[in-house]
Amino acid sequence: MRRAKRSTTKPTRWTTELARFVAVFLGVMALLAGLWSFLAPTYSTVVTWLARPLFRLFEAPNVTVLDARGAEIWIYRIVGPGEIAPFTWFDRYTFFAVIPLLALLVATPGLGWRRRLVKTGLGIGALVAAHTAYLIASVELSYVAIGLMPVGAFVARTLDVWQVGVRILWEAAPVAIWIALTLLAWKRLLRKLKTERRDEVPSGDALRVSG
């Protein structure tokens, strides 16, 4: 009887909470994904603007030239005096993770609007930083991979690991940022759920005794 009560009452509320979370996420995603083609050029311009001075900082001499073309970022390499050659490009979906991040933040339960807005600002800032770091790291690692940049024996031997690590960070960034920003809200919710469940056990016993 205790088991039946456990699986029918409280978990249903959690499932409802999750269903609401998923529904809001998908709704916001659908809306924002439609706007991405308008937002992407601005986002790419911001990342390019931030990355340019950082490339100058990391490269000696600075050989990378960035060009935000609409939603894409094109990377050129200086190959001679006044001469550049296209090296690679990042397509319009490279930075799309900002949309799932926004949808996750909007869908998270238990946050007031002011706090949600602050967290959204922080989240976007952190993701822009992560994307800028990704852009720089992946270009520099590509130079290393094709022998355009000399590195130490250790980095050369572990190049695959670095490339995979950068890829994982790029993929995990929106979820990791979202977790960092909403961990407390989820902890509160899970703690409440567990307390309710714990409190439920004696009442189940009482029911069994009285029944």
Partner 1 sequence: MDPMDETKDRHAMRSRRYRIGATAIAVAAAVALLVWVGGNDTVMGSAQTGLARITSGILNLLGHRTVVSGNTVSSGLFGITVVTACTGLFTTGLFLIAVLAYPTGWRSKLLGAGLGIGGIFALNVIRLVSLYYIGVHLPGFLDSAHQLIWQSVLIVFAVALWLLWAGRWTYAPREA
Closer residue to partner 1 (CB): 64 or 99: 99
Q: Is 49 in the site for partner 1 (CB under 8 A)?
A: no
Q: Is 26 in the site for partner 1 (CB under 8 A)?
A: yes
Q: Which stretch binds partner 1 (CB under 8 A): 54-62, 73-81, 120-128, 173-181?
A: 173-181
What whole-number distance in Å separates Cα of residue 10 and Cα of residue 12? 5
What whole-number distance in Å separates Cα of residue 68 and Cα of residue 48? 6
Identify whether the C-beta of residue 99 lies closer than 8 Å to the C-beta of residue 36.
yes
Pick one of 55, 90, 95, 96: the residue that binds partner 1 (CB under 8 A). 96
Closer residue to partner 1 (CB): 27 or 121: 27
Q: Is 9 in the site for partner 1 (CB under 8 A)?
A: no
Pick one of 117, 175, 180, 201: the residue that binds partner 1 (CB under 8 A). 175
Joined tokens for residue 147: 């022998």
Q: Is 116 in the site for partner 1 (CB under 8 A)?
A: no
Q: Which stretch binds partner 1 (CB under 8 A): 38-46, 112-120, 140-148, 189-197?
A: 189-197
Q: Which stretch binds partner 1 (CB under 8 A): 26-34, 43-51, 64-72, 126-134?
A: 26-34
Q: What distances in angstroms separate CA 116 from CA 102, 188, 198, 203, 208, one per listed residue?
A: 10, 16, 30, 37, 44
Pick one of 65, 116, 186, 200: the residue that binds partner 1 (CB under 8 A). 186
16-24: list long-range contacts, CB under 8 Å, 24+ apart: 17/109, 17/189, 20/109, 21/107, 21/108, 21/109, 22/107, 24/103, 24/106, 24/107
Joined tokens for residue 102: 């926004």
Q: Is 161 in the site for partner 1 (CB under 8 A)?
A: yes
* CA dihedral over 130, 135, 136, 140, signed as positive or negative: positive
* CA dihedral over 119, 120, 123, 128, signed as positive or negative: negative
Positions in the binding site for partner 1 (CB under 8 A): 11, 14-15, 17-18, 21-22, 25-26, 29, 33, 36, 93, 96, 99-100, 103-104, 160-161, 163-165, 167-168, 171-172, 174-175, 179, 186, 190, 193-194
